[in-house]
Amino acid sequence: MEMSVKFIKNKQVYDSGLCMRGLNLLGHAQMIELEIGSRCGGHGKCGADRVILDPANQARVNLPTAIELHQLTAPEIERGMRLGCQCFPNADELDLEVIIA
């Protein structure tokens, strides 16, 4: 079974086909031409590329960044909401499931 980042948007699954530690979730989506809402080019300024990770998937990515702590509310972060441009897998070859908010 291939490990990859899988995005769920409107109940449809989009598989990036890979998972790379040095590539944020926005980049994984862009590789398959999947729009996840970024309007600032992935710089964390617009806060529009919001995704949701369940607790198991939250453990497979970096902790929220200072940019996310500024852009998102505490309840949103507690629910697993992240910015795709600020969220990186902890390792290559992980299996991640991401809900596009």
Please state which of the four CATH numbers 3.10.20.30, 3.40.50.720, 1.10.10.60, 3.30.1280.10 is assigned to the domain occupying 5-100: 3.10.20.30
pLDDT single digits (tens) 40-80 = 989 999 999 999 999 999 999 999 999 999 999 999 999 99
At 69 the pLDDT is: 97
Dist. CA 64–CA 48, nearest whole Å:
15
Dist. CA 76–CA 91, nearest whole Å:
24
- Cα dihedral value 80, 17, 21, 41, nearest 10: -70
Q: Record the pTM.
A: 0.94
Indicate the domain borders of the chain.
5-100
Place of tokens 């079974």: 1
| Ordered strands of the 5-9 beta sheet | 12-15, 5-9, 96-100, 50-52, 81-83
At 101 the pLDDT is: 87
